[in-house]
Chains A and B, each alone.
Chain A
């Protein structure tokens, strides 16, 4: 990047640029560390997320199968009636956790209801056995569903933050830092050029002065000579 910032080539600006360059370097290092930390967390969560999703999707297929049989056997009205009042209920609590300045939710599930009992809250006389089976499968899935929601949300949030951090790191590394360096270099060159200009001017002036002095000395001598004569 030969691009430079448009600043006056003065010592003040040079100093400012040097400070900004140092800050950019420090920010770059910090953001890079943040990106690496996020990435570590992300990969862990995403693996877990993938496993959970595969597990949930596989088991849900079975649940839907037995539920639809249950619906076919006992009729949709009976099915809905039997499911209307769950025998136990999951109470969800949300806390927020800070992962590298990303707020991610943490869901905790507390199951309320009669202990050690699945959520059958219906008479067994008018419902089919498939319903019981599908419900117990579903109950087993409840915690996985909540865990899936948590890890999937975390993955989404971390992915967004990583993308943002990566953009920042790249902007610093490939645009801002080279631009600062180029600006510092060009200011230095301009200042050096000015210095050299000054030196030559001084030398030139000195030469002129010496010449003038010599000339003056000569004419003095001439005058002296004429005086003496």
Chain B
């Protein structure tokens, strides 16, 4: 049985407690980085959600786990709403694979 991790600032992540996620609060990006690596090394976590503003700050750290099947590190918008970073990531994956952006060109 695997766990779903959640990293973000308190106000953004508190709601996920109700879904049974294991919620980890981080006040700043450095704390989030430490948390991210601890959770990613722990094989109990299959999915780690991370709030967008931290995901942007920890882009390089997240990239390390991009090519392994688990954990899946997924950014989701925090309480301030979406910055479009998540869709940006999808777009960059398309560009990486196809060589051109064929999905969001409109």
Contacts and interface: CB of A to CB of B under 8 A. Distances in A.
Interface of A: 39, 42, 46-47, 49-50, 53-54, 56-57, 60-61, 63-64, 67-68, 71, 76, 79-80, 83-84, 86, 88-94, 96, 103-105, 107, 119, 134-135, 138-139, 142, 145-146, 148-150, 152-153, 155-160, 162-163, 166
Given A61-B77, A119-B20, 6 more contacts: A50-B104, A60-B76, A64-B81, A92-B3, A94-B70, A156-B66
Contacts of B12: 64
Chain A binding surface, main DSSP class: helix
Nearest to A137: B15
- Looking at B46, B72, B89, the one whose CB has the most chain A CB atoms below 10 A away is B72
A142 B19 CA distance: 7
A143 to B, nearest CB: 10
Contact of A46 (B14, B74, B76, B90): B90
A149 B72 contact: yes
Given A50-B90, A166-B99, A64 B79 contact: yes
B17 A92 contact: no
Nearest to A84: B17
Contacts of B2: 92-94
Nearest to A106: B69
Contacts, number: 138
9 contacts: A39-B97, A46-B103, A47-B103, A67-B14, A86-B19, A119-B18, A134-B15, A148-B74, A157-B67
Contacts of A138: 15-16, 18-19
A93 B2 CA distance: 6
Size category of the B interface is 35 or more
Nearest to A135: B18
A88 B46 CA distance: 19
A54 B90 CA distance: 11
A50 B104 CA distance: 10
- Looking at A90, A145, A156, A160, the one whose CB has the most chain B CB atoms below 10 A away is A156
Contacts of B76: 56-57, 60, 145, 148
B57 interface: no
A61 B77 CA distance: 8
Contacts of B16: 138
A103 B69 CA distance: 7
B54 interface: no
A79 B72 contact: no
A56 B76 CA distance: 8
